[in-house]
Chains A and B, each alone.
Chain A
Amino acid sequence: MAVVLEERKDQVLRLENGAKDIVCEKESLAGSVSQRACVFCGSRVVLYPIADALHLIHGPIGCAAYTWDIRGALSSGPELHRISFSTDLTETDVIYGGEKKLYQALSELIDEYKPKAAFVYSTCIIGIIGDDVQSVCKKAAKEKNIPVLPVHSEGFKGIKKDGYKAACDALYRLMDENKDEEYLEDNPFTINIMGDFNLAGETWMIKEYYQKMGIKVITALTGDSRVDEIKKCRHAKLNIVQCSGSMMSLAKKMKEVYGIPYIKVSYFGIEDVSDALYQVALFFNDKTVLEKTQELVRSEIERIYPKILEYRKALEGKKAAVYVGGAFKAFSLIKALKTIGMKTEIVGSQTGNQEDYKLLREVSGEGTIIVDDTNPLELSGFIREKKVQILIGGVKERPIAYKMGIGFCDHNHERKTALAGFQGMLNFAYEVYSTVESPVWKWTQPDYL
């Protein structure tokens, strides 16, 4: 049995008769080895893919060093986002304040790299040493004539989700400060893709689907996006929000202020991606768009389904565990695993909320274990208990699986294989197949399998 600390008992839920609600959205328990990152991490994930912006991390060096180029968010043009800029504060800065250094850094970097906008991420100690980041940004913006946006992402002031919110606030300011700019577009069907970060080119794939349906994507927030697109994206007729965690606050704000409705979708798994496309088509309710969508979905499914069935043959009845950042992704994964014949025995997220967990309960079968903000010891205990054969998670979870002698599939921001869309489902099926079927397990089979 897994060791679960008393204080965490309510963050673990076993789907048995009369199970109560899970407790979530808590600060991580002191002393546990949480798999969570921090507020800053949330902001960085969301804004990082904006390729022609300067991303300056204000603080000591670590936060910048550890996030240098770790995400596979691709750009079709400029790649300024891939350089990790930091004010690299030293002891004197900490004592006398880092404002001057921040100002100098902004000035020199804007002059050198000529970005279209700059984001300044405050990390943990900035609030404490009392830097007025806001006014430094204002000054730099005025002098250099580009938007310079503070992102309040002090790591300890919450969890990753709060970082999403801080990033959304910065994006909203970018739109709102430029709301007088004109936008000309003939196509009446305009959308923004929200919450997709173009990992391994996924945004490109999704954009292509919408284009084939006759729909114009103004921007993706923020996969392969550009500052100028974001400035104009408030002209869209509809926002398509993926990954409930990261962009909901912005979608709500855009609805409230600009009256743009939004729909929540997921691009993982055949059902969900088809649904994402149909929902958009139905929203515009245009005959040609609908026909094109049907055609697209049909031809894509025809293309991938026979191959998926082949993998399914090998995978039928195998057991999986899913532990990811946001709960929304977990639903899709459960469904996608079902498509290839697998059962999800353990499912959890770092940052899910009550509503997410309710939905998770609905899609999960009897006996499933649901965990919030788990740690390696707990997770490995549950994996043993449930005799799981593959773990789906992020890089931090990988060694847990490997040391136990079971398969692992990276479904996090660092992945280099596209897992979204129809092709993504095929890639996913292949990855699970090639993992589970590898002959290496013959030598390392855990004693419980």
Chain B
Amino acid sequence: MEKKTFVSTRNACKLCAPFGSTLVFKGIEGALPFIHGSQGCATYIRRYMISHFREPVDIASSSLGESATIFGGRKNLSAGLKNVMKQYNPKMIGIATNCLSETIGENIEQYIKEFQSNDKAYSKIPLVGVSAPSYKGTHQTGFHEAVRSVVKTLVKRKGERKKLLSILPGFVSCEDLRHLKEILEDFGLDYTLLPDYSETLDGVFWNEYRKIPEGGTPIRRIKEMGMSKAVIELGKSLLKSESAGSWLSKEFDIPYYNLPLPIGIQESDRFFKTLEKVKGFPMPEKYKKERGRLLDAYIDGHKYLFGKKAVIYGDEDFVASMASFVSEIGVIPVLCASGEDRLKETLKTLIDPKIMDQIEVLPSSDFMEIAEKAEVLKPDVFIGSSKGYFMARKMKVPLMRAGFPIHDRMGGQRMLHLGYKGTQMLFDRLVNIFIEVKQETSPVGYSYI
């Protein structure tokens, strides 16, 4: 790991573990996220999600107070679970611990077992516990830990192998999830996508407040994942030991494909080829056309892009695939940064070594460090979440908002990044940024460019 210049973190480029875990729980049908720990974290996490998704996000908390931290939170947890069951009538409760409950040594697995055996009336609703101390990782850790816990808790029987494809997309946008579903359906694949918060966090207008929004991966479908004929898991930053996909693969002997997020031609090709392999058919005409149009656009726009410098920041898998995409079109990802610590390894899995040489990689970094580096590198564009706005503004460099969170624009949840179509949208936006700069800074005021 590279040495950080500061011991402290200045404007973090990461969030904490329970954030990721609750997001996963939001993507399961009828599930309610629950944080076992202090109240504040749940409220802050809700607020943070609401500002991006602009949807109700109910996260319950066991509200540990002072006495609970001395005598343990067992009582709060069981009282809390009962209350939530009464009020929300959930089909599942996903329980994440937080820093406080972990530090006082709460054993969530144990508590869940006790709770379920103590009172038969409450044992019908599945409870999934995940240990999410933030000091052990980031929101991504919490996300993947939760997916793994869900799978490990719910997938039990080993039945006959079905034509089912299990797909674990990682932390992507609601629109990305919808697009993935569209692709899988067009391929005629029977699939389970976990998690799927495309409806729960980007739903329709309701008229009447609902306890738990519609949508999410059906629990029944999760249970069947052990019978899949293939597992696709997106995200190369995942360590095998942490990944739900590799657990499924090992436990049930299922072929496993761990792919980068499909952004850009190279990675979208890889993704579609994998689907072709799983299905045994070539990809539908529709996607061949999408791919063809994208290539056509690459050619149309290449002159505006050559040699431009981009600073890309955010979650490792997002940064890696984004860097791969921009280097396909002549933009140099001069700086790739993340609050996570395996960025270099992740980048190396998909970026050409020649391009790697041009990239400065900042793992375990924060926004002030990114800003300071950017001052030196003088990029032409920033690519990442709205959290980079302050530096983009200061340096008067355009920011192409992508990934999470988008707190200062509408529609972050509806932004598409994946596949040929997602790449097409990113491409058009990126090239237009440079065209606009050219147009705005020209004394002529060209109306054709």
Contact = CB atoms under 8 A, between A and B. Distances in A.
A376 B104 CA distance: 30
A91 B135 contact: yes
A104 B7 contact: yes
B56 A376 contact: yes
A127 to B, nearest CB: 8
Nearest to A109: B8
Interface stretch (B76-84, B120-128, B349-357, B410-418): B76-84
Interface string B55-84: 111111111111011000000110111111
A404 B46 contact: no
Contacts of B50: 395-396, 398-399
A404 B62 contact: no
B6 interface: yes
A27 B61 CA distance: 12
A439 B42 CA distance: 35
A446 B209 CA distance: 10
Given A30-B62, A66-B48, A83-B11, A405 B211 contact: no
Contacts of A381: 209
Nearest to B79: A30
Given A29-B63, A61-B16, A380-B209, A108 B8 contact: yes
A7 B82 CA distance: 12
B209 A125 contact: no
B178 interface: no
Contact of B87 (A32, A37, A398): A32
Interface stretch (B200-208, B283-291, B303-311): B200-208
A66 B15 contact: yes
Contacts of B91: none
Interface centre among B19, B43, B208 (most CB of A within 10 A): B43
Contact of B39 (A36, A61, A90): A36
B64 to A, nearest CB: 5
B8 A56 contact: yes
B281 interface: no
Contacts of B38: 38, 124, 155-156
B209 A30 contact: no
A31 B60 contact: yes
A205 interface: no
Given A30-B80, A40-B40, A62 B62 contact: no
B99 interface: yes
Contact of A31 (B8, B9, B84, B133): B84
A437 to B, nearest CB: 19
Interface string A305-341: 0000000000000000000000000000000000000
Interface string B251-274: 000000000000000000000000
A399 B53 CA distance: 10
B164 interface: no
A363 B364 CA distance: 54
Given A108-B6, A156-B38, A59 B99 contact: yes
Nearest to B56: A399
B40 A31 contact: no
B86 A5 contact: yes
- Of the four ranges (under 10, 10 to 19, 20 to 34, 35 or more), the interface on chain A belongs to 35 or more
A37 B61 CA distance: 11
Contact of A405 (B66, B80, B133, B207): B207
B69 A61 contact: no
Given A56-B8, A66-B15, A156-B39, A399 B55 contact: yes
A38 B37 CA distance: 12
B304 to A, nearest CB: 33
B413 to A, nearest CB: 12
B45 interface: yes
B43 A39 contact: no
A35 B61 CA distance: 11
B10 A83 contact: yes
B34 interface: yes
Interface string B378-402: 0000000001001000000000000
Contacts of B64: 156
Nearest to A405: B207
Contacts of A405: 205-207
Contact of A29 (B11, B51, B83, B135): B83
Contacts of B9: 61, 64, 85-88
Contacts of B104: 128
A404 B16 contact: no
Contacts of A156: 37-40, 64-66, 68-69, 100
Contacts of B390: 69, 82
B156 interface: no
Interface in A351-380: 376-377, 380
B99 A34 contact: no
Given A83-B11, A91-B135, A399 B39 contact: no
Given A28-B63, A33-B61, A403-B55, 17 more contacts: A29-B63, A31-B83, A33-B42, A33-B46, A37-B39, A63-B41, A64-B12, A65-B14, A65-B15, A83-B368, A85-B9, A86-B9, A108-B6, A109-B10, A156-B100, A396-B43, A447-B208
The list of the 9 closest CB pairs from A to B, nearest first, reads A38-B40, A31-B80, A62-B16, A380-B209, A31-B83, A30-B80, A105-B8, A66-B44, A88-B9
Interface of A: 3, 5, 7, 27-41, 56, 59-70, 82-91, 93-94, 101, 104-105, 108-109, 112, 124-125, 128-129, 155-158, 376-377, 380-381, 383-384, 395-396, 398-400, 402-405, 444, 446-447
